[in-house]
């Protein structure tokens, strides 16, 4: 999945506006309306889309959506 497709998926499913420049590299805490519930919903979304378990520990270490996308790509 491309980074743009990933951002579209995450933005649509979580109701976040991720269209602005730098949204993918912005610290998660600075994303509009981002909170811990969004992180839990993101885990569910990624597991549903990928069909596999996601390492929550690694997800928590990610600082931005670009890093989460890279993690997903690594896990194949």
Q: Would you write out the chain's pLDDT as a tens digit for each of its 76 residues?
A: 899 999 999 999 999 988 777 899 999 999 988 988 999 999 999 999 999 999 899 999 999 999 999 999 988 7
- Residue 64 gets the label, from left (phi > 0), alpha (psi -120 to 50) or beta, of beta
Residue 43 is predicted with a pLDDT of 94
Residue 42 is predicted with a pLDDT of 95
Q: What is the CATH number of the domain that holds 60?
A: 1.10.1200.10
Q: How many domains does the chain have?
A: 1
By residue range, what is the domain housing residue 51? Answer: 3-74
Residue 45 is predicted with a pLDDT of 95
Alpha helices in the chain (DSSP H): 3-14, 36-50, 56-61, 65-74
Residue 3 is predicted with a pLDDT of 93
Task: Say what the pTM is.
Answer: 0.89
Q: Which of 20, 33, 24 is nearest to 5 (CA)?
A: 24
First to last CA, the chain: 10
């Amino acid at each position: 999945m491309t980074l743009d497709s990933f951002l579209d998926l995450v933005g649509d499913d979580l109701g976040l506006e991720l269209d602005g420049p730098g949204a993918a590299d912005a610290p998660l805490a600075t994303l509009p309306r981002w909170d811990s519930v969004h992180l839990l919903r993101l885990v569910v979304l990624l597991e549903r889309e990928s069909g596999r378990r996601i390492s929550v520990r690694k997800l928590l270490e990610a600082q931005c959506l670009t890093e989460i996308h890279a993690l997903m790509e690594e896990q194949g």
